[in-house]
Structure 1
Amino acid sequence: MSISVGFKEDFLKMELWNIANNKGRDIKTIKSLRVLRVLRPLKTIKRLPKLKAVFDCVVTSLKNVFNILIVYKLFMFIFAVIAVQLFKGKFFYCTDGSKDTEKDCQGYYIDYNKDKKEVKKREWRRHDFHYDNVIWALLTLFTVSTGEGWPQVLQHSVDVTSENQGPVRGNRMEMSIFYVIYFVVFPFFFVNIFVALIIITFQEQGDKMMEECSLEKNERACIDFAISAKPLTRYMPQNRHTVQYRLWHFVVSPSFEYTVLTMITLNTIVLMMKTLSVLNVVKLDISLGPALRGRVTPVFLSGPAGRRGPRSFRCTGPDGE
């Protein structure tokens, strides 16, 4: 009888422990679901029509981008297979740069780091990003497409020699053509396609919202311009026979813009004289430099003159009347 009672007590304790353990797991699961509360601010989208329209456009554009994403992955797979054929097993190196093969990469060597000498063990390693299989090739190409760390990958690619052999500086420069083509296809071409699809989706959504309006798009634009347009005014001196009026007339004319543009070009040429003097054109710098500087500098003083000319003596209409 005592044995059965003891067995029941142990069984009850074990059962209570299992129940408590399961409840603890349930509580942890519930706590983890609390993270979903961060989605509550999305409820405010319904209250703001413009924000809701933008959100709908984003969702719709994601649906349209899905087909392009499939083509993107297909081209990424093609480039990954090509990269495996070109660089498989060629991204290995020895910590001792004087050794090119794994067989020779044995023992110890002296590492001269600035003023310190350190004895290190030779190790045959592989670069963090490589093309030994398709999975790693996809990861490496994706890293290159993000623009982060791709110079190192490019350097390792042009240094390849043969499979299971160490690199040689600039051994295969033609391998850089692979990355040029890859950059043209992915970061330039596909990214622009994604942006264009999103812009087109926004335009289509905007046109759908305006279908219920009785006016056409151009008519609405004309009405908006008429409502927001303001009469043009300009300021000019009252007396047209003064020097100030002549300055104002010159500043507001197209000739002033062309003159300033010409002077900026001449000023750039003057600044280039120092570079030209290195190429044995010292005489040109000596003869033309001071002359151009003397003529260009006063022209840039036209800024104060331009501000002096159009002082607000009289407000006129578009025709100056």
Structure 2
Amino acid sequence: MEKTRRGLAGVDIAIGDIVGRKSYNKDIYFKVVELFERDKVPYAILRGLDIRLVSDAPVDDLEKISPAEVAEYWRKVMKSSGELVKRCFERREAEHIRSLNRTDVKTFDVPGRVLHIDGDGDYLDLCITTYKQLGVPADGYHIPEERQPKEVVLLLQKHRPDLLVLTGHDALVKGASDFRDMKNYRSSAYFVEAVRAARQWEKNRDDLVIFAGACQSYYEAILEAGANFASSPERVLIHAFDPVFIVEKVAYTPVSKAVALKSVIESTITGYPGIGGLDTQGKYRMGAPKSAY
């Protein structure tokens, strides 16, 4: 298999192009990240534009998406994300009022802090922007999935976060039928190894809350390795922002309460088919009154 990051002679698809697969009616938009030849047939490695999926496809099966279509696609994605952000703030305001039973006392928030390690730099930028919108303190690093197990502990020691996100891209190998065979997943083994390394550093699931996985990831193995939340129970595709809305809920659930699993999973874009987890304590502390200085 001959790979190239520049292009292939006679091929009208280039690295960085946004494309859809004709055989799938262009149901998902992808970015072309690599081109190669397999048995002299041009192929492309694809990464979902907002879905955490990595795939490959013959170049002949790809169709370029126009800039106008891409812009409209992102408009719809950001509108959906914006609605979820709005719900987060409405939920927090209601919780503040209930906890104090009054509205005339100014409070301040001390939410849990996040370390987000992502195999996709574009997704990481989107997630960090969303954390800022949500008021969740976060440190982010773009690290390929295969390097995450080796680098996660050093970053944990540096930042000492309350919550850890390990994500990027994953997929079931085409034609795979044994969902319990790790060899049938592109990146799940790396997520499992990274979670195990993090758990060696901090064994308590309430002291360090971990979300790990991407599209179609080996859900059961990731949870068994020590994650609190993982994808993907039904081996479906998950959205780029799903990890953000999971950890936001944990970061803003009071330390005296367990996160309501139903509520936290339903706060994501994908929901139950794509995200699952375990009972977990919240990481939020509210202070009052807020200082005027």
Which of 1 and 2 has greater Rg? 1
- From the two aligned structures, give the one with the greater helix fraction: 1
TM-score by length of 2: 0.21
- From the two aligned structures, give the one with the greater strand fraction: 2
TM-score by length of 1: 0.20
